[in-house]
Structure formats: structure tokens, C-alpha cells
Amino acid sequence: MRIYISADIEGVTGISTWEETLKGNEEYNRFREQMTREVAAACQGAIDAGAEYIIVKDAHEDGKNLIHSMLPKEVKIISGWSNHPYNMVEGLDESFDGVVFVGYHSGGSSNGTPLAHTLSINSIRSISINGKKADEFLIYAYAAHHIGVPVIAVSGDGELIRRVRSFDSNIKTVAVQEGFGGAIVSIHPDLAVSRIQKAVKRAVESLSTFQTAKQENYELKVEFKKHQDAYKYSFYPKAEQIGEYTIRYVSNSYMDILTLLMFM
């Protein structure tokens, strides 16, 4: 049994400011450690349920945040970025039985967390795919489904978790915090670790109940923070500008969608 885990930091227990996510800041090491603890819990839950192979993509900033020595010895890590279009799930392929997202967060133009964003903090206001608001979870859940691998467990802020449940109520979820304005209310870090381990164990034990849904066509809309970027990306092959800040791109290949996003 092969399990793939993608880990971000903005949806980790207790995190509420950008400074806490960035190397060189005083609080970063504390949240780097909690990110690693939550990933370790997901790994242990998968192992407890019989997973034989686990690989983790460190998917925050430079991709070098997780402390490998804190993870179970069976676990491999993908550090850094290869620049493959799969981006936050690079290394994922059809050989995996399930995907787990740890530390994920609400998307751009959402109020689910003070750190809400989708992909680029500086340039992208919001993204939609086939009319649905697309956070990073949805973008890479579609990538997994495109190759027939189900998403089985997700942890992050409460707003994201509600969106995950609307995507597939069968996914095992853990909401570690709720955002309001510029603040968050979080559960205890140790409780988050315990709940994540249990949720992933349940998810792996029930792998046979998960299904995937590959779509026929994809319509991507990206709203930028600057109108100059909408103009710039309107020159990408087959893209069109449909508003002062927005472009539209349509394809029957999800790899085309991911490739365009990679260049933003």
C-alpha cells in the first residue's frame, strides 16, 4: 500500500501570521516543528493501517521545512522543487493508493484564515475551476483524481475543511483552527497531532470506499491583484482576458491547467 502526503504550513495548528511561516523569523522554528509533528502523525496513522510506502512532499516556500529525523524512518521526503506542473503534489503518480493533505488552508478571497491565499500571495486574488472557487486543495485534488488516485484525508483550517467535505464527504478531515478577521482560534497542538493520526489511520483502513471523478473539460479563471498581470497572461497560448483583472483558459487536459498555473 502506497500513500502520498503533501504538507503545507499555513493550515498548521496555531499559526496566524505570515512572519510565523517564514525562515529567519523568531516563531518560524516553532511552527516548522509543529508542521513536522502533524506530518509525522499522518505518517504514523498510515503505517498503523498497513501502509508499506510513504512519501511526503514538503510543499511550503522553498520546500525545505520538514525535519526528516522527526518522521518515522520508513518515510521519504521530496524537498525543494523540480518545477514539474504537479507542483505541490509533484512525485504523485498512478502507483499510489491515496493522497493526504496536511496543513492546508483556505484559498484566496476567503476569510477562513488570516493567511488565506491560493498559490501566489502577491499576484493572485482568486482562482476558479469549472465555476468552483479553487483553493490549493481543490487544484491538487483534481490532479490526483485526474490520474485515478483518491484524496483520503485533509487537515487545515475550518473553512477549508468545510469545502473539503462538500467536495467529498467521505474524506477524513481534521479542523485544527478557525479564523476570524486577523485572528484564529486553535485546538491544542497535541490534540491536533492525535486527531490527525487517527483520521489518517481510518482513511487508509477504508481505502476501498473512496472513488475518483475525472472531468471531461476544465475552465480555469484567474483573477489577479494587478490588471497588468491579466494583460500579461492573456498572451499565454489559448488564454483570453475577460475582465480588467481576469483571464480565462479552457482545456480538456488537466495537465494544461497545471502547466499554466506553474508559470504564474
Q: CA-CA distance, 61 to 66, in Å (whole number)?
A: 11
- The CA distances from residue 248 to 21, 91, 221, 259, in Å, are 31, 28, 5, 14
Question: 153: helix, coil or strand?
Answer: strand
Task: Sheet containing 98-104: give its strands across.
Answer: 75-78, 53-58, 2-7, 98-104, 151-157, 172-180, 183-186
**pLDDT for residue 203:** 98
**pLDDT for residue 214:** 85
Of the candidates 35, 25, 26, 29, which has an alpha carbon nearest to the alpha carbon of residue 192? 35
How large is the average pLDDT for residues 162-191? 97
For 187-228, the pLDDT digits (tens) are: 999 999 999 999 999 999 999 999 998 888 999 999 999 999
**pLDDT for residue 107:** 97
For 88-138, the pLDDT digits (tens) are: 999 999 999 999 999 999 999 999 999 999 999 999 999 999 999 999 999
Average pLDDT, the chain: 97
**pLDDT for residue 8:** 98
Q: CA-CA distance, 249 to 28, in Å (whole number)?
A: 37
How large is the average pLDDT for residues 28-32? 97
Which domains, ranges and CATH numbers included, belong to the chain?
2-120+134-209 (3.40.50.10780), 218-262 (no CATH)
Q: In this structure, what C-alpha cell is assigned to residue 159?
A: 473553512
**pLDDT for residue 137:** 98
Chain centroid, CA 9 distance in Å: 10
Q: CA-CA distance, 60 to 104, in Å (whole number)?
A: 10
Query: CA dihedral defined by 245, 167, 33, 3, rounded to 10 degrees?
Result: -120
**pLDDT for residue 17:** 97
User: Band of the pLDDT at 175, cuts 50, 70, 90?
Assistant: very high
Q: What percent of the chain has pLDDT over 70?
A: 100
User: Band of the pLDDT at 69, cuts 50, 70, 90?
Assistant: very high
